[in-house]
Amino acid sequence: MINEYAKNASVVRARAIFGKRLKAENYSDLVTKKTVNEAAEYLKKNTHFGETLSNVDTAGIHRGHLESMLRRAYFDRYVKLCQFENIGREPFYNYLLIRFEIDELLKAILYLNSRHDDDYIESMDTYFIKQARFDMIALARSRNFEDMLKVIRHTPYYDALKKVKPEEDGTVNYTKCEVKLETYYTKWLLTTVEKNFSGRSGEALKKLINVQTDLTNIMNVYRMKKFFGADPETIQEYILPFRGRISKYRQSELFEAPTPEDFIRLLSDTIYGKQMGSLDENMDSEQFERDLIRLRCNLAKRSLMFSENAAVSLYSLMYLSEVEVNNVIYIIEGIRYKKSPKYIENLIVVH
């Protein structure tokens, strides 16, 4: 077991790292940059990403390389936090490794379905190769779903995906794969917390996981209603089979809402809707999704500021760090495609 001193030190460290996050003024400065190179130079000189970019010639950096380095910085932060005071010896702290593995599998499925499987190796996060529990190079060489299953045969992901049947053209249902992998991940999280944490620490972690699950389901149900007009039976097949802080009755109401507008109206009367504040039946889907992310950020920030538990602190910090990296990548993509500062600002969630 990790001693209390190590855990307390990790809580303090997590809060200190969060204090160095990008602020609203940093984002305001970034969106005005005219080129990716200017954005990279700003990140190097004015933000905590400077450590990652210290030896990089920003004048010649490619967009893809910059985005890969930002994701690498996110992963390195996680590794260093786990190594700090050796807290990573506890099983729960493997959660982000599992998250990364699942993300790589889903990325590989997208490339297989698009018939651009040769391009997967170019998009691969190479810094993760030694960490993954499956051979990422062999994954990149997969030419069909059967090849992919062979690569992950010795992992829990095989059991999650083995019953998925490819279509006649060889493609596989991406959303079905995503739900099966996310279901495995959520079960692993809850089981690991149950086995390794008790009392207030366990309850706090389960609350974070439940919020994550609820908001994932809310977003997915909204998308299915908004873009596919899905009925309740179809929706039931494509959501995570868990409930957090939404009652079974309320969840059924949301699934059965006939329109996206009805869905938002019903959601506004839930524990989450009441915290979102700006819900509007006529809001566009992008704003709705950003508001959900903002809500989860607010809850994660509150947990980080008030919890004395190292696992809660790290879990909250890493979610906030993920949103930050995504914000910067949205800005880089916006600059690349010559979007206006106002357009880019609407893509990001400041916390």
pLDDT per residue, tens digit, the chain (351 aa), is 456 666 688 899 999 999 999 999 999 999 999 999 999 999 999 999 999 999 999 999 999 999 999 999 999 999 999 887 677 788 999 999 999 999 999 999 999 998 876 777 777 777 888 899 999 999 999 999 999 999 999 999 999 999 999 999 999 999 999 999 999 999 999 999 999 998 988 999 999 999 999 999 999 999 999 999 999 999 999 999 998 999 999 999 999 999 999 999 999 999 999 998 778 888 888 999 999 999 999 999 999 999 999 999 999 999 999 999 999 999 999 999 999 999 999 999 999
What are the residues whose beta carbons fall under 8 Å from the beta carbon of 304, sequence distance 6 or more? 14, 15, 18, 312, 313, 316, 317, 320
Both tokens assigned to 319: 């979610």
| Residue ranges of domains in the chain, CATH in brackets | 197-308 (1.20.1690)
Angle between helices 4-19 and 310-336 (to 10 degrees): 20
**Looking at residue 329, what is its pLDDT?**
97
CA distance 48 to 70: 11
Both tokens assigned to 117: 């499987």
Both tokens assigned to 65: 């390389």
Residue pair 331/31 in contact (Cβ under 8 Å)? The answer is yes
What are the residues whose beta carbons fall under 8 Å from the beta carbon of 93, sequence distance 6 or more? 82, 87, 311, 314
Q: What is the DSSP string of 147-169?
A: HHHHHTTTSHHHHHHTTPPP-TT
**Looking at residue 289, what is its pLDDT?**
93
Residue pair 277/253 in contact (Cβ under 8 Å)? The answer is no
Residue pair 261/281 in contact (Cβ under 8 Å)? The answer is yes
pTM listed for this prediction: 0.93
